[in-house]
Amino acid sequence: MVLHPTDLPPPSRLALLLDFDGTLVDIAPAPDLVVVPPRLPANMQTLRDLCGGALGIVSGRPIRQIDALLGATFAIAGEHGTAIRHAPDGPIDMLDLPDPPPHWVDAARALLARYPGTLMEPKRHGFVLHYRAAPEAARPLEAVLKALLAKAPAFHLLAAKMAWEIRPAGTSKATAVRALMARPPFEGRRPVFIGDDVTDEDGMRAAAAMGGFGLRVPDDFAAPADVRAWIATLAGAKREADAWPAW
The residues that are catalytic are 19
CA distance 186 to 180: 7
231, 70 contact by CB (below 8 A): no
CA distance 243 to 234: 13
CA distance 229 to 12: 19
How far CA 48 is from CA of 42, 55, 188, in Å, comes to 10, 5, 16
- Burial (Cβ within 10 Å: 0-12, 13-18, ≥19) of residue 168: buried
How far CA 175 is from CA of 33, 59, 95, in Å, comes to 28, 12, 11
CA distance 61 to 68: 11
